[in-house]
A and B are shown apart, each in its own frame.
Chain A
């Protein structure tokens, strides 16, 4: 069945490539994709769906998480309504085919930004700003006595296939000249089931993902994240290369969330800030950012108030982080590299100018 689903994901790609010219030629200020989304009235967003804190389906069927909030912010910016999103759960191996075939408009699924995924000669994606700076880690049961990467020499390690973690693990193990057995599974569920079933001594993934998955284990305290950080994993939303206008729209929606935090604009006070900007013509920066004056929205092919809509829908970047993965969540992850640049972090929006 998984096979069928994969083929189903890939089929539109072939059908599309074979029958009609699908590549848009750009054409004017209006992006083909934005026009499609507006006509459809919904944004189709590819997410994981099984990763607490990033994208997770609640018991009532609603999606929540940091990745989901990116989808909601984008829908609010383009359509003015954060609820107008169709979520598609994608596993790590089908995600790129789903994006390339146009089955999803936006891939917001803890995807690492890498050269080969960005390059036109590789996966040909276009990456939006990094929304979570992560690193690859390993998790092992306390009882196993495994303390670091070297202890894993000769042991089986569970890994999700089609991920960068699979490659990083191979690289690091080669560096320390350790042999190991990679056990690859197609979905996160299978990977963690095999790990909990005791087939592997450790499981490897992004550290945030390990922490997130651990919260759903029967006994979270029995598992420890090893101190080794195997790689840089900048997790970024992605769109196809073929529609640069749409990529820009997504990019600046995300920057808007970061800039809003920098300017102290929150979900609660955004309306007050708009009123303040409207009342005071001297607040030129704020007026431009919130679309009270200037034509930033129009330049991107989006509504003038796209920033206001996005912030109103999900709050600024700091609020999104805290609510989903930070202090206000079960994961309790430290902001770490994901602090604003002013606080020594890497979250940095270029000027809205």
Chain B
């Protein structure tokens, strides 16, 4: 390493150079990390090779041989594994998007209800939050599916409204017909989807309600009083004065709840919904490609969560105070 002249023109030895030393330390730590990673990966590859399980991806093109109950993209057992995994991913994304919308709406309603002047409403909101967030999600999903949704009547006894049928097999929209004892309609949501969505929405909304409550509470009382004295109604105050300020506190908190919801969607197997995790599990069992399938799973959930984070960071940027 060449010694650098300092400002006074005298030469500082390199071990006393304040700009160089941090770089050297960083490089050394980086090197150690790289060596450790290389060692781990090398071992993994060596042992997988010894076990005859070297990473390969060719199996993704093999026909899957299994069926999927509900898919957005057309799918049958003759299509390859990657199509099955894609169908699972789409199912996951479908329930995550619906869940985010539902949980946000319900959470906001419950969160603002905890500021209501109506005591009953306020207490109901508290009870909801305390009960729901203290029971494990898995139990709630099992409850929604096996106790609530599977208690729906079936066949001709199904709940029928004009254009809508709610049966044990699902929610049918747009002229449902009973064919051979099975309801059919152009638009249908299965009870598995319903149970998972309900579970995720109800659970996540309890946390979002707390985030919203915290956000609203962070706005000084003076803002309410000032708005009141200017003749704003309570709803107007909330909408035009308080919420825009509260959003700055709410949005970062929401981000982590959204990410939790996306990850929690992998509990879908508990209620029979064929999400990415469920398809991956079947694939793993049939192909024996444990490492590859788990890597794909890790990658997929990571990407979903990073996309959510990126969108929320964008939103966060929008609602922050614009300093001029």
Contacts and interface: CB of A to CB of B under 8 A. Distances in A.
Nearest to B184: A154
Interface in A191-210: 193-194, 197-199
B288 A167 contact: no
Contacts of A117: 288
A100 interface: yes
B269 A22 contact: no
Interface residues of A, number: 54
A18 B290 contact: no
B44 A124 contact: no
Interface string A184-195: 111000100110
Interface string A161-184: 111001101110110000011111
B290 A97 contact: yes
B265 to A, nearest CB: 11
B267 A154 contact: no
- Interface size on B, as a range, is 35 or more
A166 B66 contact: yes
Contacts of B288: 96, 116-117, 121-124
A272 B114 CA distance: 80
A184 B192 CA distance: 10
Nearest to A19: B43
A65 to B, nearest CB: 23
B269 A185 contact: yes
Given A154-B179, A185-B272, A190-B272, A198 B150 contact: yes
Interface string B59-90: 00000011111100000111000000000000
A23 interface: yes
Interface string B176-191: 0001111000000001
Interface string B91-122: 00000000000000000000000000000000
A116 B286 contact: yes
A162 B281 contact: yes
Interface in B269-304: 269-270, 272, 274, 277-278, 281-282, 284-288, 290-291, 294
B270 A186 contact: yes
B40 interface: yes
Given A18-B43, A21-B46, A161 B282 contact: yes
A156 interface: yes
Contacts, number: 134
Interface string A297-314: 000000000000000000
B135 interface: no
Interface string B234-273: 0000000000000000000000000000000011011010
A183 B195 CA distance: 14
B160 to A, nearest CB: 18
Given A21-B47, A186-B270, A162 B285 contact: yes
Interface stretch (B13-21, B50-58, B221-229): B50-58
Interface in B150-172: 150-151, 154, 168-169
A170 B282 contact: no
A180 B269 contact: no
A263 interface: no
Nearest to B288: A123
A183 B50 contact: no
Contacts of A21: 43, 46-47, 50
A35 interface: no
B65 A171 contact: yes
B40 A18 contact: yes
Contact of B281 (A93, A121, A182): A93
A184 B179 contact: no
15 contacts: A1-B136, A17-B47, A17-B48, A19-B40, A93-B284, A96-B288, A121-B52, A122-B287, A124-B52, A154-B182, A156-B69, A182-B69, A186-B270, A194-B272, A198-B168
Interface of A: 1-3, 6, 10, 13-14, 16-23, 92-93, 96-97, 100, 116-117, 120-124, 154-156, 161-163, 166-167, 169-171, 173-174, 180-186, 190, 193-194, 197-199, 242
